[in-house]
Amino acid sequence: MVNIKLYVEGAGQTDTQRSICRQAFSEFFDKAGITRRPRTIPCGGRASTFDVYQTALENNKNEIVLLLVDSEDAVAEGSTIWDHLKTRDGWEKPTGADEKRTFLMVCVMETWFLADRDALKQVFGQKFKENSLPNRKDFESIAKASVYKSLANATGGCKKAYAKGDVSFEVLKAVNPVRVEAACPAAKRLLNYLRNPD
């Protein structure tokens, strides 16, 4: 069976952070019914992720190589993923890359969390301020800064406030993938591919 490797933006540079990231994605995919889970490879920063991904494509030994990064900004209507990444980041599509195996978290991973308020309440407890979250359903249209600000406001009075790193991966483990894919088309596209990878 061909191995699937998913190169993911984030998780810092320590072994502990990378392990927490891998476990969080593994649990998320497991709950989504992904039976052939990819090997998740956290790559740190955005530029580093792209570099590691390009190297993986160059050294590919009959594996399925996937990329998952934040879109950071809204994706223009009619724009392809690689059009977006070239316009926003100056990334040229590497040899061996294609649209089918490239995925975006639109605009950021935290967008997924807005889709499951019950999970956020579970993680952050009674002082979580649900009313601080955006009162809308088009989650992928919410700007990155607004997503972060709403999570900061909603968790500011909690024992632990929202933060990138360990807390974000704790939330990822808690969210319901069914709710995420129902609210976030880009997440649904990733999960559908993983349910039936080529």
Task: Give the tens place of pLDDT for each residue, 44-82.
Answer: 999 999 999 999 999 988 999 999 999 999 999 999 999
In angstroms, rounded to a whole number, what is the distance separating the alpha carbons of residues 109 and 112?
Answer: 6
Please give the distance of CA 92 from its chain centroid, rounded to a whole number. 21
- What does pLDDT average to in each consecutive run of 10 residues of the chain (198 residues)? 94 88 97 96 96 96 95 95 98 96 98 97 97 94 97 96 93 98 97 96
Asked if residue 37 lies in contact with residue 30, where contact means CB atoms within 8 angstroms, the answer is yes
- The C-alpha torsion from 150 through 184 and 39 to 48, rounded to 10°, is -60
Asked if residue 124 lies in contact with residue 169, where contact means CB atoms within 8 angstroms, the answer is no
